[in-house]
Structure 1
């Protein structure tokens, strides 16, 4: 009986260092990808702008006839009273999703008009980083 030698292919391993700036962009984009996935599973159409520079729109979502802009932020928050800065003033943005980068929770909030605001302010909805918790907070807006 003739036996063939079987070549085992190794599993993928990243063998290069990621530059700090690149690592930050990858980490932030991964949070945007979570929101995309959860919203799509909820039935939303989700569009990702090719370039977000100065437009304060990370995602554009639609239920069919209506379109909404969504900004996704990440912060190094040590508490839920962490203060975030308004970087979307005048941009007609209805919704901001903010993730605590160093933890497993975040907040969904209307885009506030004040210069600064606490994550846990009235009208902001906390979620654990699960689809169910996120969608509950998102639908509470």
Structure 2
């Protein structure tokens, strides 16, 4: 069986983990029937994933955070970029939140506009459909 015998640099390892969360969202949305597009480069537009139901397109930003609880503060990193949806995954746990893009500089994860989900397709899609 294949075994990885080399060390992965810390920055590279973090990038791989972050990308894996984006890939999960892509898979879940495709299984839900969305057309999914991945920008070659998202700098400037802050769009990790672009989805469409045909006539409509939505920009999604995926973020990962280490949080000790759902009152953890998250920063607005997409100001002036027209992001429609932000999905936060809590790396050190098994949950996340979905929220429409917001204009405040920061918010708590448990903000009333945020939809909390367990990190699985069924829970994610149930909350995504509530936006």
TM, length-normalised to structure 1: 0.91
Matched-pair contact (CA < 8 Å) for 2:70–2:110: yes
Cross-structure match for 2:66 = 76
Query: Structure 1, unaligned stretches of length 5 or more?
Result: 1-10
| CA distance in 2 between partners of 1:25 and 1:87 (Å) | 17
| CA distance in 2 between partners of 1:54 and 1:106 (Å) | 25
1:15 corresponds to 2:5: yes
- Alignment RMSD (CA, Å): 0.6
Alignment map for 1:14-53 (pairs within 5 Å): 14-53=4-43
Post-superposition offset of 1:110: 0.7
Alignment map for 1:62-141 (pairs within 5 Å): 62-141=52-131
Which structure has the larger Rg? 1
How many residues align structurally? Answer: 131
TM, length-normalised to structure 2: 0.98
Query: Structure 2, unaligned stretches of length 5 or more?
Result: none
